[in-house]
């Protein structure tokens, strides 16, 4: 793919780019992005709208990843932050590759209490790893007070610290640790879109609130359903979202309210089975009441 094959949508505040991440990243100014969240294909065989997430050799997958990882670092401002995900099996390679180029501050496990496959003969995977990296460990945004969570010792058990003078109740809030529990996006949730690996709004809210400020520029090179750009918009940040698949671009254009139509067709969310059922039931009820 060439730069001229890319398609651009949106305005100065929220840009959507249809095309390959490596090609699109090259069109972005160096040192210009405040926060990058990258959630690439994991090389585990997911089906992204007919495109199989599986490289012939692990080495090929990693060499491709190293290309866009380098580009992300290049595009990040000197005080910028970079969050990156991949599967548990490939994260060690990312970690080793990145630690010479950028400062890894946290190794986060996004934990959820349900897996796609219920393993019976081994321990099923209930987490996905996330690296939180910064370019300059002395200068970066971290809005700790905007992401506080309940500290159980103080909030629930109301324990008192008698080592303090005078004794004090333990604090009821704290900065989250590196195990984050958020439910995966399930079919019945309002935020659900037709995509195999959609990330939850709550996960992106924590990241964007902590690591950016109002009007900052947030970039997601593998946008999928555009959760990152959607949350960035809700929180008053600017965004750039890149995605290879046209069908997912349509989700982004709708979620970001950039366009109401695409190639003459309305950009509407497909009703889910239980919503369709409700419509039918409503029609039946209307007939019954006539």
Ligand X SMILES: C[S@@+](CC[C@H](N)C(=O)[O-])C[C@H]1O[C@@H](n2cnc3c(N)ncnc32)[C@H](O)[C@@H]1O
CB 266 within 8 A of CB 260: yes
Q: Which of 253, 257, 211 is nearest to 37 (CA)?
A: 211
Length of the chain: 290
Q: Give the SS3 label for residue 35.
A: strand
Question: Does the footprint of ligand X cover residue 243 (CB under 6 A)?
Answer: yes
Nearest to 239 by CA among 248, 227, 249: 227
Which CB atom, from 39 or from 216, has the smaller least distance to ligand X? 39
Which 29-58 positions form the footprint of ligand X (CB under 6 A)?
A: 39-41, 48
Backbone phi, psi, residue 237, to 5°: -100, 165
Q: Which of 43, 81, 86, 197 binds ligand X (CB under 6 A)?
A: 197
Instruction: Give me the residue label for tokens 């990156």.
Output: 84
User: What sign does the CA torsion over 22, 27, 31, 33 have?
Assistant: negative
Q: Which residue among 36, 131, 244, 253 contacts ligand X (CB under 6 A)? A: 244
Q: Is 200 left (phi over 0), alpha (psi -120 to 50) or beta?
A: beta
Q: Is 151 left (phi over 0), alpha (psi -120 to 50) or beta?
A: beta
Rounded to a whole number of angstroms, the minimum distance from the CB of residue 136 to ligand X is 26
State which residue, 154 or 200, has the beta carbon closest to ligand X.
200
Burial label for 53, CB within 10 Å (0-12, 13-18, 19+), is middle
If one asks whether residue 69 binds ligand X (CB under 6 A), the answer comes out as no
CB of 37 to ligand X, least distance (A): 8
- For ligand X, the nearest residue by Cβ is 224
Nearer to ligand X, 20 or 216 (CB): 20
CB 84 within 8 A of CB 90: no
Q: C-beta of 285: minimal distance to ligand X in Å?
A: 36
Nearest residue (CB) to ligand X, 154 versus 222: 222
Find the part of the chain contacting ligand X (CB under 6 A) among 95-103, 114-122, 151-159, 242-250: 242-250
| CB of 84 closer than 8 Å to CB of 131 | yes
The C-alpha atoms of residue 86 and residue 30 are separated, in whole angstroms, by 24
Q: How do strand 238-243 and strand 217-220 relate by DSSP bridges?
A: parallel
Quick one: 76 or 154, whose CB is closer to ligand X? Answer: 76
Nearer to ligand X, 212 or 227 (CB): 227
Q: Closer CB to ligand X, residue 80 or residue 252? A: 252
Contact set for ligand X, span 130-159 (CB under 6 A)? none
Q: Among 5-13, 106-114, 117-125, 191-199, which window interacts with ligand X (CB under 6 A)?
A: 191-199
Q: How far is the CB of 7 from ligand X (least distance, A)?
A: 12
> Which is nearer to ligand X, 87 or 141 (by Cβ)?
87
Yes or no: say if 255 and 285 are a contact pair by the CB < 8 Å rule.
Answer: no
Write out the binding residues for ligand X, residues 11-30 only, by CB under 6 A.
20-21
Q: Is 128 in the site for ligand X (CB under 6 A)?
A: no
Question: What is the per-residue binding string for ligand X in 211-230, x denoting contact by CB under 6 A?
Answer: -----------xxxx-x---
Strand ranges (E), 39-137? 47-48, 51-52, 76-85, 103-111, 127-134
Binding footprint of ligand X on the chain (CB under 6 A): 20-21, 39-41, 48, 195, 197-199, 222-225, 227, 242-245, 248
């Amino acid at each position: 793919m060439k730069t001229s094959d890319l398609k651009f949508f949106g305005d100065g505040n929220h840009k959507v780019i249809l095309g390959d991440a490596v090609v699109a990243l090259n069109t972005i100014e160096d040192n210009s992005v405040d926060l990058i969240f990258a959630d690439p294909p994991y090389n585990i065989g997911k089906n992204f709208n007919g495109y199989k997430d599986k490289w012939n050799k692990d080495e090929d997958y990693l060499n491709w990843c190293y290309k866009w990882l380098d580009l992300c670092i290049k595009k990040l401002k000197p005080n910028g932050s970079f969050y990156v995900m991949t599967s548990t099996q490939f994260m060690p390679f990312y970690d080793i590759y990145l630690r010479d180029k950028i400062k890894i501050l946290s190794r986060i496990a996004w934990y959820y209490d349900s897996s796609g496959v219920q393993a019976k003969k081994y321990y099923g995977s209930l987490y996905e790893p996330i690296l939180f990296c910064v370019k300059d460990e002395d200068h970066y945004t971290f809005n700790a007070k905007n992401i506080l969570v309940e500290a159980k010792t103080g909030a629930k058990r109301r324990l008192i610290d008698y080592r303090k003078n005078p004794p004090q109740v333990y604090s009821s809030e704290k900065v989250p640790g590196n195990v984050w529990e958020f439910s995966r996006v399930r079919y019945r949730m309002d935020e659900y879109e037709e995509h195999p690996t959609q990330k939850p709004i709550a996960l992106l809210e924590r990241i964007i609130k902590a690591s950016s400020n109002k009007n900052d520029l947030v970039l997601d090179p593998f946008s999928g359903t555009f959760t990152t750009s959607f949350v960035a918009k809700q929180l008053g940040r600017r965004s750039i979202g890149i995605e290879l698949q046209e069908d997912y671009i349509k989700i982004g254009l709708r979620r970001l309210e950039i366009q109401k139509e695409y190639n003459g067709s309305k950009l509407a969310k497909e009703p889910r089975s239980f919503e369709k059922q409700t419509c039918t039931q409503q029609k039946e009820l209307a007939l019954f009441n006539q």
